[in-house]
Amino acid sequence: MSDARTDPVAQQVGWEALEPSRGSNIRTHRIVKSTGRWHLKPTPGVYAIVGIAWFFAALGLIVGFLTFGRLPWWGTAVAIGAGTFFMFTGLLVYRRVEQPFFDLGQRRFRAHAKDDGIPFKQIHAVQLAPYMVDLGNEKDRYPCCELNLVLGDASRVRVLSHGGLDALRLDAGEIAGLLKVPLWDGTTRA
């Protein structure tokens, strides 16, 4: 195992997040181990957000269609428009949630099912890169952390990011153990 302070690859690798505009202020993924694969699956909280959006979508559409002709046209339009908005919001959240996995049989990391993947032997380390998500004003800033795979040539591949640092650190440690590589925790860098 190598130490990020002395490893030559660590001296070349970037420590900033690869995609600092992405990330959530909640824990969005957890490791689910099955025969032959370790999936990084969405947490129940993500599914709850999608479910709430689809509930309001259904409510808006039902109210819109039930009140058709009984309310002014704009009332029905607002209900149907709100329902449609929440339906597409829920769909967008659901579709944007990544589900990367570690294929233990082929010994490859895959960002998605159609990805050719990265052979485990090319992965040099697991990296945690902290950053702040800034939505435009001081109130809308929150800390987030990105989990990356560092390859032997010092390039990096983003796995995922979210705001549940303690859980992400534990997951990163498990992944590093699976891959038999060091965990470089940028959240503790001086």
pTM: 0.72
Domain contains 72? yes
Domain contains 130? yes
Each residue's pLDDT tens digit, 99-123: 787 888 889 888 776 778 889 999 9
Domain contains 161? yes
Q: pLDDT value at position 49?
A: 72
The SS3 assignment for 99 reads coil
Each residue's pLDDT tens digit, 10-66: 888 888 887 766 666 666 677 778 888 887 777 777 677 777 777 777 777 777 777
Token duo for residue 88: 């597409």
59 & 91 share domain = yes
Residues linked to residue 142 through DSSP beta bridges, in sequence order:
133
Q: What pLDDT band is residue 151 in, cutting at 50, 70 and 90? A: very high
Domain contains 148? yes
- Structurally, the chain folds into a number of domains equal to 2
Q: pLDDT value at position 123?
A: 94
170 & 124 share domain = yes
Each residue's pLDDT tens digit, 61-91: 777 777 777 767 777 777 778 778 877 777 7
State the Cα–Cα distance between residues 178 and 189, nearest whole angstrom.
23
Residues contacting 11, CB < 8 A, separation 6+: none
13 & 51 share domain = no
Query: Structural domain of residue 179, as residue ranges?
Result: 8-27+120-188
168 & 142 share domain = yes
Average pLDDT over residues 164-184: 90
Show the DSSP H helices in 7-72 as ranges.
8-12, 44-66
Is the pLDDT reported for residue 126 higher than 90? yes
Domain contains 40? no
